[in-house]
Structure 1
Amino acid sequence: MEKVMGLASDNGVVIFSKSSCCMCYAVSMLFQGIGVKPVMYDIDQDPQGREMEKALMKLAGTTAGPVPAVFIGGKFMGSTNDIMSAHLSGQLLHMLKPYHSLS
């Protein structure tokens, strides 16, 4: 759990993913479309990935696959359904305002 929380708090927007996860890619593209480039962290490419996966499942309160796991400002925001719901309600744009690209 320490590694997950450390990585999440070191960056503004972090998505824990797996390299073969299409929903992880879709959430990443949503953020980029809004003007935010998230830090993507593929847990299947990390030697401690299995422990990270267990920590993410515990954090999410699920036994299903824990990715994508989205953190904004060091706070766990949820997975695909949570992010899409926040986007549709307009809350996601508000949460991401501090992280918009300055281009």
Structure 2
Amino acid sequence: MEKVLGLASDQGVVIFIKSTCCLCYTVKILFQEIGVDPLVYEIDHDPEGREMEKALAKMGCSSPVPAVFIGGKLLGSTNEVMSLHLSGSLNQMLKPYQTQT
């Protein structure tokens, strides 16, 4: 769990994914379209990936991936992200992390 928390606090927006997960890809693209360049960490390419997946589940992530952290705090997985996006709340949460264009 320490590794997950350490990585999650490395940057403002961090997404833990698996490289073969289509929902992970969708969430990553959503953030990029909002103007946020998240740190994307592929847990299936990490030797400790299974432990990281278990840690994300213990932290309360409904699905281990994608797991989205904003400001070092767990936001959730696809359902939470999409609900916030549809309500307009996600854009507000991400304003401090949007790249200037």
Question: Aligning the two structures, in what range does the TM-score lie when normalised by the shorter sequence?
Answer: over 0.9
Between the aligned partners of 1:85 and 1:61, the Cα distance in structure 2 is 15
CA RMSD for the aligned pairs? 1.0
How many pairs are equivalent? 101
- Residue identity in the other structure for 1:12: G
Q: Which residue of 1 aligns with 2:41?
A: 41
Q: TM-score, normalised by structure 1?
A: 0.94
CA offset at residue 10 of structure 1?
1.1
1:66 maps to which residue? 64
Tell me the SS of whatever aligns to 1:60.
coil
Residue aligning to 2:57: 57
Q: Matched residues in 1 for 2:48 and 2:38: separation?
A: 21
One-letter code of the match for 1:39?
L
Letter of the 1:33 counterpart: E
Equivalent residues in 2 for 1:1-103, closer than 5 Å: 1-60=1-60, 62=62, 65-103=63-101
**Unmatched segments (≥5 aa) in structure 1:** none
- Equivalent position SS for 2:100: coil
Q: Which runs of 5+ in 2 are unaligned?
A: none
